Amino acid sequence: MEEKVILVDKNDTKIGTEEKIKTHKEGKLHRAFSIFIFNLKGELLLQKRVNTKYHTPGLWTNTCCSHPRPGELLEKAIHRRLIEEMGIDCELKKIFSFIYKATLKNNLFEHEYDHVFIGKFDGEPNPDLTEVDDYKWISIDELEKDINKNPKKYTPWLRIIFKKILRFKLI
């Protein structure tokens, strides 16, 4: 787990580093990435966050999400973390970046300059069980219906990004 995150301004220019927990307590804007992996059937690989996570435990989310380490290139971080978390790697393509802020339980906040990537992988992941409680491949239609019916089962950033992906037909 990364101990420090990269603080950024609204243009994603680095303005410093900070302890990850402190950043989430104070709601400081920091650099992050979210990865969405699809199989040949067009299904999305979701993961269920392990119950020991300090925020959003037990919620379903996109394939992989994290923060680059201070001094680490984003292009390296996305592959490093996909391998560490899900035990897979594939070509990744950036589709957009955006800023969001979400209030979480326990007086924590996500305030991220999030870089969103997609990729294709047609196998079974080998997730790190200290990070991932479960995983599943799900159709876009099924996921959209379930997010609308049960939004609290999903992380805030997944719900936000999924709407953007659907709206722009990026998949």
Q: What is the mean pLDDT of residues 87-109?
A: 95
| List 85, 110, 112, 131, catalytic entry | 112
Q: What is the mean pLDDT of residues 152-167?
A: 90
Q: Whole-angstrom Cα distance, residue 124 to residue 145?
A: 24
Q: Whole-angstrom Cα distance, residue 98 to residue 100?
A: 7
CA 61 from chain center: how many Å? 7
Q: What is the mean pLDDT of residues 81-87?
A: 98
* Res 2 pLDDT > 70: no
Q: What is the mean pLDDT of residues 146-171?
A: 87
Within 10 angstroms of residue 88's Cβ, the number of other Cβ atoms is: 18
| List 65, 85, 110, 131, catalytic entry | 65
The percentage of residues in the chain with a pLDDT greater than 90, rounded to a whole number, is 91
Concerning whether 65 is annotated as a catalytic residue, the answer is: yes
- Indicate which CATH number applies to the domain containing 83: 3.90.79.10
Phi, psi of 40 (to 5 degrees): -65, -20
What rounded mean pLDDT belongs to the chain? Answer: 94
Q: Which pLDDT value is given to residue 54?
A: 87
Q: Whole-angstrom Cα distance, residue 100 to residue 111?
A: 6
* Res 98 pLDDT > 60: yes
* Res 170 pLDDT > 60: no
Q: Which pLDDT value is given to residue 23?
A: 97
Concerning whether 131 is annotated as a catalytic residue, the answer is: no
Q: What is the pTM of this model?
A: 0.94
User: Within the chain, how many helices (H) and strands (E) appear?
Assistant: 4, 9
- Longest Cα separation, the chain: 42
* Res 66 pLDDT > 70: yes
Instruction: Give the lowest-confidence range in 11-20, 51-60, 139-148, 162-171.
Output: 162-171
Range of the domain at 151: 4-168
For residues 121 and 45, the answer to whether their CB atoms sit within 8 Å is: yes
Q: What sign for the dihedral angle of Cα 42, 43, 49, 50?
A: negative
Output the six-digit token pair for 91. 């070509």
pLDDT tens-place string over residues 128-141:
999 999 999 999 99
Q: Whole-angstrom Cα distance, residue 43 to residue 9?
A: 34
For residues 63 and 79, the answer to whether their CB atoms sit within 8 Å is: no
Q: Which pLDDT value is given to residue 106?
A: 86
Q: Which pLDDT value is given to residue 168?
A: 63
Q: Which pLDDT value is given to residue 12?
A: 98
Q: Number of structural domains, the chain?
A: 1
